[in-house]
Amino acid sequence: MKVWLDTDPGVDDALALGLILARPEFELVGLSTVFGNASVQQTTRNALRLLSLFARHDIPVHAGAAQPLQGQARYAAAVHGDDGMSGLAERLPPARALAQAQHAAEALLAASRAHADLHLLAVGPLSNVALALRQDPALAGRVASLTVMGAAFGCHGYTGNVTPCAEANIHNDARAAAEVLAAPWRALRVIGLDATQRVRIALPELEPLRQAGAAAELLWQAAQPYAGYYQTRDGLAALVAHDAIAVAALLIPEAFSWRHGPMRVVEGGLAHGQTVQDWQGLARGQAEWDALPAHAAAVDADAQALTELCLQAW
């Protein structure tokens, strides 16, 4: 299947890219970058260098939003390091191509017209996807599917990772998320903390990556401080590879439990960036909810199946 990756690399974004490039089911036709884990200049540099690492510098990279549609960009240095790559960005091979001149949102639209049944994967703030939708709302009906890493619906106690109520990608651009979730996608799958946090890959399981070639070794190195951050937060020495788990939803959707229903995003105030899904139909009859299409949210994940898939790919 043809896929487009919108990303903010990012340690787990790098792991997602590694998974995409390793699996024969995927043909990555393009990649766009967005601010998030670091500035868009830095995430673009990281994307170009990661493609060099994987010897796939033939894949075009388009830089996108430097700021959210509303509010101010904030980065995730505590999780991914100042350079977005656990301090290893300069150790990646130099970029062997330049970013394309065309803006991410325009490139994404052009790709959706050029490739029938393109699947979009968005694993950063949703600013680029929202900008593309504003330019051409028909995007939602043209692409085969949109898979989003983002949100936290409160299952298993996961309500947020940047505030008690919000997950980072949604919190970073809540306006964009609200617009994207309101669009009538042919298939929209939202993979949030409810699913990704369920897949904790114990650090000893990653050891074989150290002997599996330059790319795998670098992913292993980048994963160590990233996992260390999670350890200081919840005491478990394990890798939570959010973005790679979202990519896996395109390959093995049966490894997730799904709930269907319309979704809304809280904008402003204490719960800014909170995602709410009316999967029980409790809000039926209310105009703001009735206007929204139903989408799928992953609310649980098969940790063993997903761990195996990732370890085989990296």
Q: Check residue 40 for interaction with ligand BDR (CB under 6 A).
A: no
Residues engaged in binding Ca ion (CB under 5 A)? 8, 10, 13, 123-124, 243
Q: Check residue 13 for interaction with ligand BDR (CB under 6 A).
A: yes
Q: Check residue 161 for interaction with ligand BDR (CB under 6 A).
A: yes
Longest dimension (CA), the chain: 58
Contact 152, 276 (CB under 8 A): no
What, of ligand BDR, Ca ion, none, does residue 81 touch, CB below 5 to 8 Å by kind? none
Stretch that binds ligand BDR, among 63-71, 133-141, 164-172, 295-303 (CB under 6 A): 164-172
Contact 107, 69 (CB under 8 A): no
Residues 137-156 that bind ligand BDR (CB under 6 A): 149
Of all residues in the shown chain, the one whose CB is closest to ligand BDR is 168
242 is catalytic: yes
Phi, psi of 240 (to 5 degrees): -110, 100
Neighbours of 70 (CB within 10 A): 13
Q: Which of 37, 5, 33 is nearest to 21 (CA)?
A: 5
Q: Check residue 243 for interaction with ligand BDR (CB under 6 A).
A: yes
Neighbours of 283 (CB within 10 A): 16
Q: How far is residue 130's CA from residue 235's CA, in Å, rounded to a whole number? A: 36
Q: Please identify, using beta-carbon distances, which residue of 35 and 256 lies nearer to Ca ion.
A: 35
Catalytic residue (choose from 62, 103, 115, 242): 242
CB of 123 to ligand BDR, least distance (A): 5
Contact 13, 37 (CB under 8 A): yes
**Roughly how many angstroms between the first and final C-alpha of the chain, as a whole number?**
20
Q: Check residue 198 for interaction with ligand BDR (CB under 6 A).
A: no
Q: How far is residue 186's CA from residue 283's CA, in Å, rounded to a whole number? A: 23
User: Which string of x and - marks every residue 77-96 that binds ligand BDR (by CB under 6 A)?
Assistant: --x-----------------
Q: Please identify, using beta-carbon distances, which residue of 191 and 296 lies nearer to Ca ion.
A: 191
Q: How far is residue 129's CA from residue 135's CA, in Å, rounded to a whole number? A: 10
Catalytic site positions: 242
Q: What is the binding site for ligand BDR (CB under 6 A)?
A: 10, 12-13, 37, 76, 79, 123-124, 149, 161, 167-169, 242-243
